[in-house]
A and B are shown apart, each in its own frame.
Chain A
Amino acid sequence: MHPAILGLVTIAIGVGGCVGYFYLSNMVLDHVIFPARGPNAGKNINRANQIRPWLFLFPALFALCLYLAYPVVETLRLSLTDRDAGGAFVGLANYTQMMSEAKFWEAMRNNMLWLIVVPALSTAFGLLAAQLTDRIRWGNLAKSLIFMPMAISFVGAAVIWKLVYDARPAGTDQIGILNAVYIWMTGAEPQTWLTLPFWNSFFLMAVLVWIQTGFAMVILSAALRGIPEETVEAAIVDGAGPMQIFFKIKVPQIKSTIMVVWTTITLVVLKVFDIVFAMTNGQWETQVLANYMYDKLFRSNDWGVGSASAMVIMLLVLPILIWNVRNARQEMR
Chain B
Amino acid sequence: MDNIAGHKSSLSWVVNISVVLLVALWMLPTVGLLVSSFRTADQISTSGWWRALAPSEQNIKIRAKGPDTQVQQGDLFVIEGQLFNETDAEISVWGISSRAIDDFAAGETAELKNGARLTVQADGAYRIEHSEEITGKRGQRIFVTATTPPEFTFDNYDLLLFQGDNTDSMGRAFISTLTVTIPATIIPIVVAAFAAYALAWMDFPGRALLIAFIVGLLVVPLQLALIPLLKLHLSIGIGKGYLGAWLAHTGFGLPLAIYLLRNYMVGLPRDIIENARVDGATEFQIFVKIILPLSFPALASFAIFQFLWTWNDLLVAKVFLIDSTGQTTVMTNRIVELLGTRGGNWEILATAAFVSIAVPLAVFFAMQKYLVRGLLAGSVK
Contact = CB atoms under 8 A, between A and B. Distances in A.
Assess A/B contact in the complex (Cβ within 8 A): yes
Interface of A: 3-4, 6-7, 10-11, 14-15, 18-19, 22-23, 26, 30, 49-50, 52-54, 56-57, 59-61, 63-64, 66-72, 74-75, 78, 128-129, 132-133, 135-136, 139, 142, 144-156, 158-164, 166, 172-177, 180, 210, 213-215, 218-219, 222-223, 226, 229, 232-233, 236, 242, 256-257, 260-261, 264, 267, 270-271, 273-274, 277-278, 290, 293-294, 297, 303, 306-307, 310-311, 313-314, 317, 320-321, 324-325, 328-329, 332
Interface in B157-197: 175-176, 178-180, 182-183, 186-187, 190-192, 194-195, 197
What bracket does the count of chain B residues touching chain A fall in? 35 or more
Given A22-B284, A61-B195, A313-B224, A160 B216 contact: no
B179 A324 contact: no
A210 B198 CA distance: 39
A223 B228 contact: no
Interface string B207-223: 11011111111111111
B190 A19 contact: yes
List 7 tightest A-B contacts by C-beta distance, closest first: A67-B251, A153-B312, A60-B195, A151-B364, A74-B228, A71-B225, A56-B198
A159 B19 contact: no
B220 A72 contact: yes
Contact of A14 (B187, B311, B313, B336): B187
B202 A306 contact: no
A155, A161, A176, A290: which has the most chain B beta carbons within 10 Å? A155
Contacts of B45: 175
Contact of A18 (B4, B191, B311, B339): B191
A61 B192 CA distance: 10
Contacts of B19: 129, 132-133, 136, 139, 142
Contact of B194 (A7, A60, A311): A60
A153 B313 CA distance: 7
Contacts of A270: 221
Given A61-B195, A148-B361, A3 B242 contact: yes
A59 B194 contact: yes
A15 B250 contact: no
B150 interface: no
Contacts of A174: 48
A159 B2 contact: no
Contacts of A60: 191-192, 194-195, 254, 258
B99 interface: no
A274 B376 CA distance: 26
A54 B353 CA distance: 45
15 contacts: A11-B182, A26-B282, A59-B194, A71-B228, A145-B26, A146-B26, A153-B360, A155-B312, A155-B314, A155-B356, A160-B353, A174-B48, A175-B45, A260-B380, A310-B227
Given A148-B364, A149-B26, A156 B375 contact: no
A64 B375 contact: no
Nearest to A18: B190
Interface stretch (B29-37, B75-83, B139-147): B29-37
Contact of B219 (A4, A215, A229, A324): A324
B296 interface: no
Nearest to A50: B204
B64 interface: no
A175 B349 contact: no
Contacts of B228: 70-71, 74-75, 78
Contacts of B2: 135
Contacts of B225: 67-68, 71-72, 75
A175 B41 CA distance: 12
Given A10-B246, A15-B186, A155 B336 contact: yes
B95 interface: no
B182 A278 contact: no
A72 B224 contact: yes
A132 B243 CA distance: 46
Given A11-B187, A159-B353, A215 B375 contact: yes
Contacts of B356: 153, 155-156
Given A129-B22, A132-B15, A219 B379 contact: yes
Contacts of A267: 219, 221
A159 B311 contact: no
A129 B20 CA distance: 11
A227 to B, nearest CB: 10
Interface string B1-21: 110110000011001101100
A270 B363 CA distance: 27
A73 B9 CA distance: 61
Contacts of A14: 183, 186-187, 190, 246
Interface string B130-154: 0000000000000000000000000
B229 A71 contact: yes
Interface stretch (B65-73, B109-117, B327-335): B327-335
B202 to A, nearest CB: 4
B47 interface: yes
Contacts of A22: 194, 284
Nearest to B353: A159
B41 to A, nearest CB: 12
Nearest to A51: B204
Given A53-B202, A129-B19, 15 more contacts: A3-B176, A60-B191, A60-B258, A68-B254, A145-B26, A154-B312, A154-B314, A159-B352, A173-B47, A180-B48, A219-B379, A294-B223, A310-B226, A317-B221, A324-B216
Nearest to A140: B368
Given A153-B356, A325-B216, A63 B251 contact: yes
Nearest to A15: B190
Contacts of A164: 28-29, 32
Nearest to A78: B227
B32 A160 contact: yes
A159 B252 CA distance: 26
B183 A158 contact: no
A145, A233, A271: which has the most chain B beta carbons within 10 Å? A145
B287 to A, nearest CB: 8
Nearest to B367: A151
Given A52-B283, A63-B251, A153-B332, A68 B49 contact: no
B247 interface: yes
Contact of A321 (B11, B33, B199, B219): B219
